Amino acid sequence: MDSKIHTENKFEEEAVKLLLSTKEYAEGNPMDFNKESALVQSDLFSFVQKTQPKEWQKFEEIHGGQSQERFLYRYSKEVQSRGLLDVIRYGFTSHGVKFRLAFFKPASGLNEEAIDLFNKNQLKVTRQVKYDRNNEKSIDLLITLNGISIITIELKNPFTGQTVTDAKKQYMFDRSPKESLFQFNKGALVHFAVDTDEVSMCTRVNGRKTFYLPFNKGYNNGAGNPPNESGRKTDYLWTEVFRKDSLLDIIGKFLHLEVDKDDYSSKLIFPRYHQLDVVRKLVSDSEINGVGKNYLIQHSAGSGKSNSIAWLSYRLASLHNEQDQRVFDCVIVITDRRVLDNQLQDTIYQFEHKRGVVERIEKDAKQLAKALEKGSNIIITTLQKFPFVIDQIAELPARKYAVIVDEAHSSQGGEATKKMKEVLTASSLEDAEAEDHAEVEDYEDEIRRSLTARGKQPNLSFYGFTATPKYKTLEVFGVQGVDGKPRPFHLYSMKQAIQEGFILDVLRNYITYKTFFKLTRAIEDDPEVNKKKAAIAIARFVTLHPHNLAQKTEVIVEHFRQVVSKKINGKAKAMVVTPSRLHAVRYKQEIDKYLKEHGYIFKTLVAFSGTVRDGGFEYTEPQMTGYSERELPEQFDTDEYQVLIVADKYQTGYDQPLLHTMYVDKKLSGVKAVQTLSRLNRTCDGKVDTFVLDFVNEEQDIKDSFQPYYELTTVDESVDPDHLYDLKSKIESAQIIWETEIENFSKVYFRPKTELSATDHAELNAAIDPAVDRFREMETQEQQDDFKHALTSFVRLYAFLSQIMPFGDMELEKLYTYCRFLLKKLPKIETDPFHLGDEVDLEYYRLQKMKESFIMMEDQAEYGLDGITDAGIRTSIDEKVPLSEIIEVLNDRFGTEFDEADKLFFSQIEEELISNDKLAQQAKSNTIENFKYGFDDVFLDALISRMDQNQDIFTKIMDDEEFKKVVNTLMLKRVYERLREAS
């Protein structure tokens, strides 16, 4: 048996065989590759002379024996100025002679000459191509088109212990962007990292900043690839994607340049697999079935819908059937996103090299009617004009239309799809909520109603993109499956988007009001967590009535200040979702008042429609914010504002990556719940999680809302903070992680920025690598799995619980940070899901955690200095009094109205303290002054444990420091004397 059957070399050999078996590829000779020009020059000249003999003859007449040198010189100049993609598509002109470097398949089959030229394109695959000037480094596979490098490929075989991750690292750390082959849009157009299970690709090799996208089919509605009974999971790359028709189609009609003023921010957009798949399947089905069919495309946020719509628009506008007749006379795109308008214009210009293909309707219905009548190729208009579009199409039956609808419109309040009350006058928040609570129809309802009102129209095909199709929409537009149930024509699920790292899982850190306080109490009660000041604040929150706006304001502001404000390197923002416009107005007033009273520096904005009348005053969004409705999103994007309060605005179609936390004070269910909470899911550098604190909804209802679109349930019913210590013990018992190595790691990781040195990276690795080695030496795969599972669970649980209340246990913080980085270095049992911007995330995360750790240490020190003394308490209180007299003293002094029944609360507290063995021992051997220090802690614990039994007394104790001192002193005296008597 061949002992090398499992090697990377064998994988490379078989990949080439698959390409050659198509009869569309020839195998190249690596010696023919020119490193300076990144060309196989002999192939390029052969192609030009074979397909354009007259042009080449004319060129030779001009330049004689210098023809090839002049051709290459002009080619190089054009590539440098215009970019390789544009030169491949449109060729170049030199001395009046125009040359084409590739020929693309014509939209119509009538032009036989064009088809013949397309067939003469020459694809080659070459193994182990040396690309560097020192002739030392090689790329596994190089694909050339007519001698021009278009694709590089690094292959890895998991049988040898390496995966697609290692291939990506090779591009990042061992492939210089200065080399001709890897220069952006001058060398190869795209670079693939491939193993037998997964594929990733990038279009810009840029060192550590090299940005990869997954190029996988997806499996079970998630990431990865399905099993392949006849070969490797990634064989579709060779047998499908890299076929001649497919590859030339991608270069001609998909790849496009997204230009930025800063050249380093420009992007070459290569379609992800699902984008390629959906456009091709929609085009193929439309070509076969013609006009008159509806298509529902369920693509999650993070799917790149804007690009998919742009590509689809262009393809449908030029689509011909088998009889070489245009399938559609006009493509109409319905969207409210101006970014899509610009994207369509720029993308299609790159395909066509002419303006006017896309016409934007910005004025009125007359402009739209004129555009429809004259037959503009692609029309882009707003959702508000959709009913008129349908009416016009019905009146022009001789013309055939494709209507593409983009769900992610930005008509923030839904004014386009409902008639809102202009003025709300309500006597209470409850009335306001009832007025505004009626279910609002959205764009989907409007579209469905407009289309169904006239019945099926034979001259219209409808293509609807949505992440959350409603039941009725599926009924009307879905494709019937084998079980008779309607389904979307194409799916890219939320689950897949999350697993591929394009959006964050907003349910991972979702918590209800009730559970929030259950957890904070549990954290506070843990003896290993030293966070007394925060514990007192949290204990007060427990008593807050969930319907009191001012009290919920305190929860929101304090949670944002203590936890959220430190996220995303201190740039995190939050949204407060309110049940009515009046709620939004009053929340704005309450939060601003609270911020001013406490001297907090962050600022708020509010968003609501129309005018709200309250207490004789009228309020509008522009009046309360100082900005027009159009300006508000831009202002919230600045560093000046951190919290956005909304009432049925910005809950759909609003992208703000810095939005980290949502405080929900509105009943949500179904699609509305998904759309609202999904405002948090956008990714950005440094954003590794999200958080939802829900005052009114139940976890199960939210689960039920997400399940149809999510396919992955991650909301935990309950969490026990003590489980952290259970996991810590389990991790330690494996003896993989050593305390000395954690300390060495932490000394570097938490080192002040001013003391960072060039050896930091090496020191961090030196502290982690021994643990990696010990992990490799574990006896069985099962032991490795158990350890890794415990490590992962610990990291996730700590990250989750720190959202509720930052821990004061520095040992846990050190272990968490160490484990988080250790997980990244442990051998992959299965390839981890792809994460965007991992390298940058770590950099931001480090800064964030250093800052957070510093704040925690400061809080601890502050508490240590904040002891309660007897100063200021009158000596008359020292007298021994029965409980009934304590009630009288409190009522007389503080104006409270506690009665004899309230005596039971104090009695229960007292008996609990008396039964405490630790206090009994301390009372025997200490003066009352010394006894007091142990007593204070136990007394606070007893109060918190019984807070639900008498919230009035508990709230008074926590709100009034003087009242608290009196109660504390009275109870101290009684308990001390009773314990001394008992001894």
Q: First-to-last CA distance in the chain?
A: 86
Region at 356 (left for phi over 0; alpha for psi -120 to 50; beta for the rest): left
Report the distance separating Cα 286 and Cα 299, nearest Å: 19
**Token digits of residue 186:** 């001058």
Q: What is the number of H-type helices and E-type strands within the chain?
A: 38, 29
Other C-beta atoms within 10 Å of 654: how many? 21
3-class SS at 326? strand
- How far does CA 808 lie from the centroid of its chain? 29
Pairwise CA distance, residues 641 & 621, whole Å: 15
Measure the CA–CA gap between 91 and 249, rounded to whole angstroms.
17
Residue 605 has, within 13 A of its CA and on its CB side, a CA count of 26
Pairing of strands 358-360, 378-381: parallel
Tokens of 320: 């011909």
- Phi, psi (degrees; rounded to nearest 5) at 204: -140, 110
Banded pLDDT at 552 (limits 50, 70, 90): confident
Q: For residue 565, what are the contacts with CB-CB under 8 A and spacing of at least 6?
A: 572, 602, 642
pLDDT of residue 541: 46
User: What is the structure's pLDDT at 444?
Assistant: 62
Summarised one tens digit per residue, pLDDT across range 396-426 is 667 888 989 887 443 333 333 333 333 444 4
Other beta carbons within 10 angstroms of residue 884's beta carbon come to 11
User: What is the enclosing helix (H) or strand (E) of 70?
Assistant: helix 67-82
- At residue 144, φ and ψ (nearest 5 deg) are -120, 150
pLDDT of residue 397: 64
In the sheet that holds 691-694, the strands lie side by side as: 510-512, 691-694, 659-664, 573-577, 643-646, 604-607
State the CB neighbour count (10 A cutoff) for residue 562: 19
Is residue 439 exposed (0-12), middle (13-18) or buried (19+ Cβ within 10 Å)?
Answer: exposed
What is the pLDDT averaged over residues 574-594? 92
820's CB contacts (< 8 A; 6+ apart) are 795
The helix, strand and coil proportions of the chain, stated in percent and rounded to the nearest 5, come to: 50, 15, 35
Residue 178 CB contacts under 8 Å (≥ 6 apart), including other chains: none
- pLDDT tens string 422-479: 344 445 566 666 666 555 555 566 666 666 655 567 888 989 888 888 777 777 778 8
What span, in angstroms and rounded, lies between the C-alpha atoms of 142 and 120? 20
For residue 56, which of 104, 111, 95 has the smallest C-alpha distance?
A: 95
Backbone angles phi and psi of 895, in degrees to 5: 70, 20
Mean pLDDT of 335-360: 67
CA 338 to chain centre: 22
138-145 and 123-130 strand pairing: antiparallel
Q: What distance in Å separates the CA atoms of residue 17 and residue 566, rounded to the nearest whole number?
A: 54
Minimum mean pLDDT among 40-49, 383-392, 660-669: which range? 383-392
**pLDDT for 637 beyond 50:** yes
Q: Which residues contact 700 (CB under 8 A, 6 or more apart)?
A: none
Q: How confident is the model at residue 954 (pLDDT cuts 50, 70, 90)?
A: confident
| C-alpha 207 chain-centroid distance | 24
pLDDT of residue 760: 73
Q: What's the pLDDT at 434?
A: 62
Name every residue whose Cβ is closer than 8 Å to that of residue 879 and which is 6 or more positions away in sequence: none
Per-residue pLDDT band for 143 (boundaries 50, 70, 90) equals very high
Q: How many CB atoms lie within 10 A of CB 207?
A: 12
The pair of structure tokens assigned to 471 is: 């039941």
Among the listed ranges 84-98, 103-117, 201-215, 833-847, which one has the minimum average pLDDT value?
833-847
Token pair belonging to 409: 């419109």
What CA–CA distance (Å, rounded) separates 738 from 830? 25
E strands of 58-147, at which residues?
A: 92-94, 97-99, 123-130, 138-145
Going from the C-alpha of 740 to that of each of 732, 746, 771, 814, the distances in angstroms are 13, 10, 11, 12
Single-letter amino acid code for the residue at 898: F
Helix (H, G, I), strand (E, B) or coil at 526: coil
Span 842-899, pLDDT tens digits: 222 222 222 222 212 122 222 121 222 222 222 333 334 455 666 666 776 666 767 6
Which regions of 55-198 does DSSP assign to beta strands (E)? 92-94, 97-99, 123-130, 138-145, 148-155, 190-194
CA distance 721 to 726: 9
Q: Please, are residues 400 and 459 in contact by the beta-carbon 8 Å criterion?
A: yes
Can you point out the beta strands (E) in 740-779? Answer: none
Listed residue (188, 129, 190, 194) closest to 155, CA to CA: 194
Average the pLDDT over 942-955 and give the result.
72
Q: Rounded distance, CA 893 to CA 895, Å?
A: 6
The whole-number average pLDDT for the span 333-352 is: 69
Given a contact cutoff of 8 angstroms between Cβ atoms, the answer to whether 865 and 872 are in contact is no
This prediction's pTM = 0.70
Lowest-confidence segment of 24-28, 436-440, 479-483 by average pLDDT: 436-440
Average the pLDDT over 379-394 and give the result. Answer: 71
Q: Using alpha carbons only, what angle is made at residue 274 by residues 268 and 279, rounded to the nearest 5 degrees?
A: 85
Nearest to residue 458, comparing CAs of 503, 419, 400? 400
DSSP 387-410: HHHHHHHHH-TTS-EEEEEES---
Q: Do residues 328 and 494 lie in contact, with contact meaning Cβ atoms separated by under 8 Å?
A: no
Beta bridge pairs of residue 93: 98
Span 749-797, pLDDT tens digits:
887 766 666 677 778 888 888 999 999 898 888 888 889 888 988 888 8
Task: Give the C-alpha separation, 958 to 516, whole Å.
Answer: 19
Q: What is the distance, to the nearest Å, from the Cα of residue 634 to the centroid of all Cα atoms in its chain?
A: 20
Task: Give the CA angle between residues 653, 656, 658 to the nearest 5°.
Answer: 155
DSSP structure class, residue 29: P
- Return the ∠ at Cα 91 (arms to 85 and 96), rounded to 5°: 150
Backbone torsions φ then ψ of 921, nearest 5 degrees: -65, -40
Strand blocks (E) in 29-95: 92-94
393 contacts: CB under 8 Å, gap ≥ 6: 372, 399, 401, 403, 457, 459, 460
At residue 483, the 3 state secondary structure works out as: coil
| b/e sequence 241-273, b meaning 16+ C-beta within 10 Å | bbbbebbbbbbbbbbbbeeeeeeeeeebbbbbb
- In sequence order, what are the residues at sequence separation of 6 or more whose Cβ sits closer than 8 angstroms to the Cβ of residue 598? 557
Q: Return the percentage of the chain with pLDDT > 70, whole number.
A: 76
User: What pLDDT sits at residue 409?
Assistant: 40
- Give me the residue label for tokens 């309020």: 619
- pLDDT tens-digit profile of 698-720? 888 888 888 877 653 334 445 67
The dihedral over CA atoms of 404, 410, 412, 416, expressed in degrees to the nearest 10, equals -40
The average confidence (pLDDT) of the chain is 79
Give the pLDDT band of residue 970 (cuts 50, 70, 90). Answer: confident
Distances (CA, A) of 231 to 14, 18, 207: 10, 11, 33
pLDDT digits (tens, 9 = 90+) for 789-820: 889 888 888 877 777 665 567 888 889 889 98
Cβ(544)–Cβ(554) below 8 Å? yes
The single-letter DSSP state of residue 39 is B
